Amino acid sequence: MNVNIPTWLQPGDYWLARLALEKAVGTLFLIAFLNAVNQFRPLLGERGLMPVPPFVRHVPFRESPSLFFFFPRDRAFAICAWIGVALSALIVSGFADRYSWLLLAIWAVLWVLYLSFVNVGQIFYGFGWESILLEAGAYSAFLGASGTNGQVAVMWLFRWLLFRVMFGAGLIKLRGDSCWRDLT
């Protein structure tokens, strides 16, 4: 039985979109982990403004899962941040793009590492763009390696993410300051 699928739902040639998304999200992860290298210890380190060790003693793992529940030390923060930098650099450089299984594993490790930072980051990691980056990283894991077209479902998920970001930004402007409401 042949089913006619509308052309806008048929798999297209998404290799360029896949490549651009992979490099862009990889670059964002690289920047995020470089920020963690430079800022995590003074903000959330053992002697930081809001130290992680007391946080992990008072908050259950189930509410805020993180690798730092097991190792709440400055050395663990630095090691995880530098691993994130190295893995992000592998994605941006294209080295990890040779094998789908390697790319999937790297994205999974990046996601777990960054989720670990976000979940113990308290007010410093409590902004919307942290969850957007985690969501984009989760989608990127399923883009596939080079030589493959991006999966149609994954491309639609990225479109949905972009729509939500743009729509949310517009709504914030409309309900915010009077200059936005007056369209001036």
pLDDT 10s digits, 89-130: 999 998 888 888 899 999 999 999 999 999 999 999 988 899
What's the chain's average pLDDT? 88
The yes-or-no verdict on residue 8 having pLDDT over 80 is no
Domain-located, residue 3: no
Report the phi/psi class of residue 183: left, alpha or beta, with left for phi > 0 and alpha for psi in -120 to 50: left
Domain-located, residue 5: no
Distances (CA, A) of 132 to 12, 125, 129: 26, 12, 5
CA distance 72 to 94: 32
Return the SS3 of 5: coil
Number of folded domains that form the chain: 1
Per-residue pLDDT band at 177 (split at 50, 70, 90)? low
Query: Using an 8 Å Cβ cutoff, are 20 and 156 in contact?
Result: no
What pLDDT shows up at residue 150? Answer: 61
Domain-located, residue 99: yes
Query: Using an 8 Å Cβ cutoff, are 32 and 114 in contact?
Result: yes
Return the SS3 of 98: helix
The yes-or-no verdict on residue 131 having pLDDT over 80 is yes
Domain-located, residue 8: no
Question: 137-152, pLDDT tens digit by residue?
Answer: 999 999 887 766 667 8
CA nearest 27: which of 78, 115, 94? 94
CA distance 32 to 117: 10
Domain-located, residue 9: no
Distances (CA, A) of 50 to 62, 77, 85, 108, 143: 20, 14, 23, 28, 37
Domain-located, residue 1: no
For the chain, what is the radius of gyration of the CA atoms?
A: 19
CA distance 52 to 54: 6
pTM: 0.86
The yes-or-no verdict on residue 67 having pLDDT over 70 is yes
Return the SS3 of 127: coil
Question: 70-96, pLDDT tens digit by residue?
Answer: 999 999 999 999 999 999 999 999 888
Higher pLDDT, 168 or 181: 168
In this prediction, residues 27-44 reach a mean pLDDT of 96
Query: Using an 8 Å Cβ cutoff, are 72 and 24 in contact?
Result: no
Instruction: Name the residue range of residue 23's domain.
Output: 14-181
Return the SS3 of 94: coil
Query: Using an 8 Å Cβ cutoff, are 146 and 94 in contact?
Result: yes
